[in-house]
A and B are shown apart, each in its own frame.
Chain A
Amino acid sequence: MSFLKKLLVTAAFSAAMFVNAAYAENVKIALVVKSLGNGFFDAANKGAEEAAKELGDVEVIYTGPTKATAEAQIEVVNSLIAQKVNAIAISANDADALVPALKKAMERGITVISWDSGVAPEGRQLHLNPSDTGLIGETIIKLAADYLPEGGDVAILSASSTATNQNAWIEAAKKILPEKFPKINLVATVYGDDDSAKSTDEAKGLLKSYPNLKAIIAPTTVGVVAAAQVVTDEGLIGKVNVTGLALPSEFKKFIDNGSSQAVALWNPIDLGYSAIYLAHDLAVKKEEAKPGATLSIGRVGKVTLDDTNSAAMAPPFQFDKTNIEKFSKIY
């Protein structure tokens, strides 16, 4: 028995030490993620800590289950309710299953917002999207146009022809082309089905069919890597610029070798930072989350809530030679 007791007492002491630090009269905001041990969310926590430092009176509780399941996340939410945190900012494993637990949190006076992966409207006060369709559509064209001052032919290498996200972004991109980028000529849209082999074939096909092609835009992390590899292999670096949405860690070598000038994706640091700001806006400044309301997200700017109390943070964050090194280590 004594060994067990010793173990428990040791655990209690070390635990108590953890907690003592938390007794200060701070606003406690829990950043709840889908699962711990994920680089994307660890980066979001960095941003959250940065926001806490700026706001001064905020203590961030970075937590989440080990298994990315709704049931495990509910247990985490229950323990946060018991701790009487001031706000919960959650990236949910399930848009519906979390609703009853989060409703209970709101009934007990806790501010609840979702970010990244949303919760159904009745389970949160507002939701923060990393970006929105229009902003993404504009960004993917701008990424190519920035490096084509004289204009020229570009082509899009997408995921599958039925991919809802990509289709919406491409639609938005096409809409904005004539007014904002008149010199850019979109010659083709092809589909690589988010499959490396098929994306490679489609990229090769584009280069053959359009010898004057100046840029390939791939708004998918699989396609963009395949296209950059094709451009590298065929010795077209400097002639064809590959761009689109890419994970910095996967894509760093193509920025380094010059087959791509710049790519973009959501910035998890800004996302965590903004989530804490929004939770603080609601919990401390007592701002009201209602359609049309404008809320501050610190250095990232301001967001406006739409009909479902959702907001888009910012255009996708751009990665180029100057910052790819730093972000490739994060996600």
Chain B
Amino acid sequence: MTDPPAPRHIPDRLDKPLSSAIFSWEALLVVVAVAIFVVNSFASPYFLDPWSLSDLTFNFTEKALIALAMALLIISGEIDLSVAAIIALASTMMGMAVQAGAGTPALVLIGIAVGLGCGAFNGLLVTRLGLPSIVVTIGTMSLFRGVAFIVLGDQAYKGYPASFAFFGQGYVWWVVSFELALFLIAAVIYWFVLHRTSFGRRVFAIGNNPVAAQFSGVRVDRIKFILFCLTGLMSGIAAVLITSRLGSTRPSIAQGYELEAITMVVLGGVSILGGAGSILGVVLAAFIMGLVTFGLGLLNVPGIVMSIFIGLLLIIVIALPIVWRRLRGGRFA
């Protein structure tokens, strides 16, 4: 127990020596991101175009917003697999509201509220009944999407008001889309919460040792409940964005988003066992995934090859530090 397998014991230390900053996970991700950026610029003449780069961000912003909250949840030792299903349910409810004549502000509120409600439901099941989150959220994943399918069947909701399109299709300044701006602001907020508040310290404490945290006076269940609510909230926000971007709702909306969000979190250096990770890493991972998929898309590489690339990237980036440590350890042993 004295030497857990986590890659870094104190991931969040403020007084890091310079050497650790150079060899940190985030530095590695920056190098990877820059490398991919450079490769893309050489590989395709269309890549270095402000509008191309702007379009690129739409490939990941919705998933990345969820990944921010998911990172906190995974750091605390829990997981939520129902996020994409929450999007489907929230989007369906927004569609029903449109049929009933709701305006844009009401739609946004409904989407966010449904997301928050679903997150609270997950949180209650996990904290009150003491069920493992992976089991609970596999269940609610089917439940939430199932409701969407019952309501919609093979139909679609459309006819969203024109002003609603701004959230998923609008730009706040030149090529900076609303989605990207929202993601960057959310990233700063999550960075602050996780790395600069006592709440964040408690999240790390719970992930490293929930029992010790409990005995130290941390209200473990309450914090976990809040984290599930946050994940639901971000899924609700993502539902507003994607519904606005597509201009319609089908029950199959956002299929597979949960795994892509979790991939971002893991690629971002968050320990899947909990207790370690950083928001900066997750943000970098989101950009890396966007750069890779868009870069390959520009070259018309088939989607299946793209999945192989993402898989390889994940394995390489995760294996690299471990192999590096082994090699160095071997030399000194």
By a beta-carbon cutoff of 8 Å, the part of chain A in contact with chain B is: 1, 3-5, 7-9, 11-12, 15-16, 18-19, 23, 36-37, 61, 63-67, 69-72, 74-76, 78-79, 81-84, 94-97, 99-100, 104
Tell me if B36 is interfacial: C-beta within 8 Å of chain A. yes
- A78 contacts B59, C-beta separation under 8 Å: yes
Chain A residues contacting B47 (CB-CB under 8 Å) are 82
Chain A residues contacting B293 (CB-CB under 8 Å) are 75
Q: In whole angstroms, what is the CA distance A83 to B52 when docked?
A: 8
Tell me if B202 is interfacial: C-beta within 8 Å of chain A. no
Q: In whole angstroms, what is the CA distance A63 to B55 when docked?
A: 18
- B43 contacts A15, C-beta separation under 8 Å: yes
Chain B residues contacting A65 (CB-CB under 8 Å) are 303
**What are 30 of the A-B contact pairs (CB < 8 Å)?**
A4-B35, A4-B317, A5-B35, A8-B35, A8-B39, A15-B44, A19-B44, A23-B45, A63-B300, A66-B304, A66-B306, A67-B255, A70-B246, A71-B254, A71-B255, A74-B58, A74-B245, A78-B55, A79-B297, A82-B51, A82-B52, A82-B294, A82-B298, A83-B298, A94-B156, A95-B156, A96-B246, A96-B247, A96-B250, A104-B169
Residue in contact with B55 in the complex, picked from A4, A37, A61, A82, CB distance below 8 Å: A82
Q: In whole angstroms, what is the CA distance A279 to B75 when docked?
A: 51
Separation in Å of the A106 CB from the closest CB of chain B? Answer: 14
Tell me if B15 is interfacial: C-beta within 8 Å of chain A. no
A100 with B247, Cβ < 8 A, contacts A71-B255, A79-B297 known: yes
Separation in Å of the B74 CB from the closest CB of chain A? Answer: 23
Residue in contact with A66 in the complex, picked from B39, B44, B55, B303, CB distance below 8 Å: B303
Contact with A along B290-329 (1 / 0, CB 8 A): 0001101111111110110100100011001000000000
Tell me if B149 is interfacial: C-beta within 8 Å of chain A. no
- A19 contacts B299, C-beta separation under 8 Å: yes
Chain A residues contacting B59 (CB-CB under 8 Å) are 75, 78
Tell me if B263 is interfacial: C-beta within 8 Å of chain A. no
A19 with B43, Cβ < 8 A, contacts A70-B250, A75-B59, A79-B297 known: yes
Q: In whole angstroms, what is the CA distance A4 to B312 when docked?
A: 10
Separation in Å of the B50 CB from the closest CB of chain A? Answer: 11
Task: State the majority secondary structure of interface residues on A.
Answer: helix
Residue in contact with B303 in the complex, picked from A4, A72, A84, A94, CB distance below 8 Å: A72
- B46 contacts A82, C-beta separation under 8 Å: yes
Residue in contact with A79 in the complex, picked from B165, B294, B307, CB distance below 8 Å: B294
A1 with B39, Cβ < 8 A, contacts A15-B299, A71-B254, A78-B55 known: no
Q: In whole angstroms, what is the CA distance A15 to B169 when docked?
A: 30
Tell me if B3 is interfacial: C-beta within 8 Å of chain A. no
Q: In whole angstroms, what is the CA distance A104 to B168 when docked?
A: 13
- B301 contacts A15, C-beta separation under 8 Å: yes
A4 with B255, Cβ < 8 A, contacts A36-B303, A65-B303, A75-B293 known: no
Specify the chain B residue showing the minimal Cβ separation from A70.
B246
A63 with B302, Cβ < 8 A, contacts A3-B316, A5-B35, A82-B49 known: yes
Chain A residues contacting B298 (CB-CB under 8 Å) are 79, 82-83
Specify the chain A residue showing the minimal Cβ separation from B303.
A66
Q: In whole angstroms, what is the CA distance A96 to B248 when docked?
A: 6
Residue in contact with A75 in the complex, picked from B39, B297, B316, CB distance below 8 Å: B297
Q: In whole angstroms, what is the CA distance A8 to B292 when docked?
A: 11
Q: In whole angstroms, what is the CA distance A78 to B156 when docked?
A: 23
